[in-house]
């Protein structure tokens, strides 16, 4: 059951992270932004069932090309590290963690994508026409047997809204990664280089 839930969580996350370019003002409307990405991700999954098995590197590149611009990796990585470790890290260590965090997520998500077939994602649109700097967008992932609530936390920056956290079925993924970083910090006596060297983003959980 734990394996299934984490796979659901990873699928939902990549459903948000992955898309083609958003047109017009949609990038400034977080609900349309999230819904567009989700529906495009469903299409990618349906139309590329065999790609991961046939050429996993091409599959990962396809995702990476559309994955990186969608997330505020600097902010997410800082939150995962926590203020204490982020401020004590050198600029080089911060950059190194951002890169390894991003790549570990990519590898995990792209592997998880191969396990999924047809799903439906429903966005809960509000009546709002103006949105605050920090917003939440709610969706429901509908499978053949269950429904899973999703909350995306987004922040508006100079490039539009970007993801800073996801809560899946009550589980805060940002907090989960932060606890993982803290556990590694305790293990390695707060040696940031050692933490970065050992970091894995739950890559072997399924």
Q: What is the pTM of this model?
A: 0.77
Q: What is the mean pLDDT of the chain?
A: 80
Q: Which residues have CB under 8 Å from 152's CB, separation 6+?
A: 16, 30, 34, 136, 137, 138, 139, 163, 165, 166
Distance of CA 91 to the CA centre of its chain: 23
**pLDDT, tens digit (0-9, with 9 covering 90-100), for 58-111:** 877 776 776 777 789 999 999 999 999 999 999 999 999 999 988 887 776 666
Q: Which domains does the chain have, with CATH numbers?
A: 2-198 (3.10.450.710)
The span from the CA of 171 to the CA of 165, in Å, is 11
Averaged pLDDT in 10-residue chunks for the chain of 206 residues: 56 51 62 84 74 79 73 92 96 95 74 61 86 93 82 91 88 89 96 93 43
The span from the CA of 106 to the CA of 175, in Å, is 18
Q: Which residues have CB under 8 Å from 118's CB, separation 6+?
A: 42, 46
């Amino acid at each position: 059951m734990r394996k299934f839930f984490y796979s659901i969580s990873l699928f939902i996350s990549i459903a948000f992270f992955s898309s083609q370019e958003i047109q017009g003002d949609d990038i400034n409307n977080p609900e349309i932004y999230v819904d567009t990405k989700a529906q495009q991700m469903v299409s990618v999954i349906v139309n590329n069932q065999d790609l991961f098995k046939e050429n996993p590197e091409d599959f990962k590149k396809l995702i990476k090309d559309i994955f990186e611009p969608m997330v505020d990796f600097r902010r997410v990585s800082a939150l995962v590290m926590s203020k204490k470790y982020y401020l004590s890290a050198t600029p080089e260590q911060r950059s190194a963690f951002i890169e390894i965090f991003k790549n570990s997520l990519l590898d995990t998500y792209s592997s998880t994508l191969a396990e999924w077939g047809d799903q439906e994602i429903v966005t809960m649109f509000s009546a709002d026409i103006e949105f605050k700097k920090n917003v939440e967008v709610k969706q429901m992932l509908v499978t053949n047997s269950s429904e899973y609530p999703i909350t995306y936390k987004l922040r508006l920056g100079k490039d539009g809204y970007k993801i800073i956290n996801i809560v899946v079925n009550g589980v805060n993924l940002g907090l989960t990664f932060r606890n993982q970083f803290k556990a590694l910090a305790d293990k390695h006596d707060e040696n940031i280089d050692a933490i970065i060297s050992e970091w894995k983003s739950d890559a072997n959980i399924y």
